[in-house]
Amino acid sequence: MLEDLAEKTLQYALANGAQYCDVRAESVTSSGFLFENGQVEHSSSRLDRGLGIRVLANGAWGFYSMASPKSMESVRDGVLSAIRGALFYSHAKKKKVILSDCKAHVDTVIQKAAKVPRMEDMVEIAADCDRRIRGQKRIHKSSVLVQTDEFQKYFVNSEGAKIFQSHTDTFASLSATASESGLSETVSTTEGGRGGMEVFEGENDLTKRAEMISEKAHHLVCSNPAKEEKTTVVMNPDFVALLTHEILGHPSEADRVLGKEMAWAGGAWWAGKIGSRVGSEHLSVIDDPTITSSLGCFKYDDEGVPSSRKSLVENGILVNHMQSRETAYLFGTEPNSSMRSAGFSFMPLIRMACTCIGSGDWEAEEMIKEVKSGYLICDMKVPSIDMMRYNWSISCQYARRIENGECKELVRDVIVMGNSPEFFKSINAVGKDFTVRPITNCGKGDPMQIMRMGNGGPHIRGTATVKSVGI
């Protein structure tokens, strides 16, 4: 029914003044629960379905969405309102929207879960993780959130595209909080990706991750803070994922580069620097929606553009941005599958899919062995970044002091600070290892859209300022 309405809505918009129209008919079935200290705190199950209708009229955008439409009659007034709004706005618009060319595709893409998530299986693994987290004596709080979502999306546009895509996402967020002598420390992790229960197996064994965060929190609560100093840092892939997300991914979104997000989300520190050096020769950055295990995997974006691996930085040189059909025309380049929406009720925006620092030729142990004095920075926590993503500070969950090439004691409450060009030009070693981490809560836009994606990379080594909170 939704697919039929999408096609009828498309024709209705064109017949009533839209020069271009695309419609997304989407359905999302979600289920999950929160396990805390041995008990199910709450559970949820829901179905969201509806239409997202985007129209272009006289060079300006209009948008209308509707949940659970029953008939064409229920949609018509909203479509007409979107067209009228676009026409009204177009009179004050100095530059009309022009879309770069894109072949219209007709395709069906079904990404099946190898092990379909069942509630009893999810509860069983959550209970096991909770028990393992509480296995350390200093742990006073355990939290395990497990969720699975089944997505179905049908995209049609006035150029002839007809694309159906479906997939399943399954992920878990675990945290362990330890207390000792009035001090509390929390270590957490998010695991999962595109697929079913198989995403918690092998290298991503959820129970082993539960044991790891419990052990780290147990010991971290008795560790010392770091002194403030500018020093050598070796960052592990989980920390690199957040660094890449905030300081390399967001500034690569072409709407930020153009200043269209300055009012609420900031711009890009390398605006206007295509072809310029922005990092050392060891730094290469990609965005790749074809990585199948990533939460940012898809075959077509929300403009019907086929997914592709795109190079953003090559050996320290900025070479490209993430582009929509609209921004690609402005930059004189090709759209590169970067438009996504958090759901049918939102306009699509330029978003990361799976932005990562590319791998190098170092073993992590070799990087550490060459460090006379510094820190191994481990696992993402909280970022703080200026409007241009130029100056930044990012806290890690824990660190280890490095002395004469050896990792020593744990260090708590560590913040890493730097400015973007100085830090990225200081990178002098990049690891062979390459890890994609799941990001489930990236916010962008007004109204805010919360999006899932992948970010990651290998171990990297550079120079930054390190300090502990309150020190």
Supply the pLDDT for residue 469: 85
Handedness of CA 302, 73, 62, 266 (dihedral sign): negative
Short-list 293, 450, 439, 462, CA closest to 380 = 439
CA dist 392 and 268 (Å) reads: 13
- Please check whether residue 343 is in contact with residue 28, taking contact to mean a CB–CB distance below 8 angstroms: yes
Task: Please compute, for residue 102, the number of CA atoms within 13 A of its CA located in the half-sphere on the CB side.
Answer: 30
Domains of the chain in start order, with CATH, are 2-222 (3.30.2290.10), 225-468 (no CATH)
Q: Are 41 and 35 in contact (CB under 8 A)?
A: yes
Task: Yes or no: say if 302 and 155 are a contact pair by the CB < 8 Å rule.
Answer: yes
Calculate the dihedral angle through the C-alpha atoms of 419, 420, 423, 427, rounding to the nearest 10 degrees. Answer: 170
- Is residue 44 exposed (0-12), middle (13-18) or buried (19+ Cβ within 10 Å)? exposed
pTM over 0.85: yes
Q: Rg of the chain over CA atoms, in angstroms?
A: 23
Question: How far out from the chain centre does Cα 48 lie?
Answer: 22
Alpha-carbon distances, residue 463 vs 114, 271, 397 (angstroms): 43, 24, 19
Positions of the chain with pLDDT under 70: 263, 470-471
3 state SS of 323: coil
pLDDT of residue 1: 86
Q: How far is it between the farthest Cα atoms of the chain?
A: 73
What's the rounded Cα separation, in Å, for the pair 79 and 86?
11
Determine the pLDDT at residue 431: 98
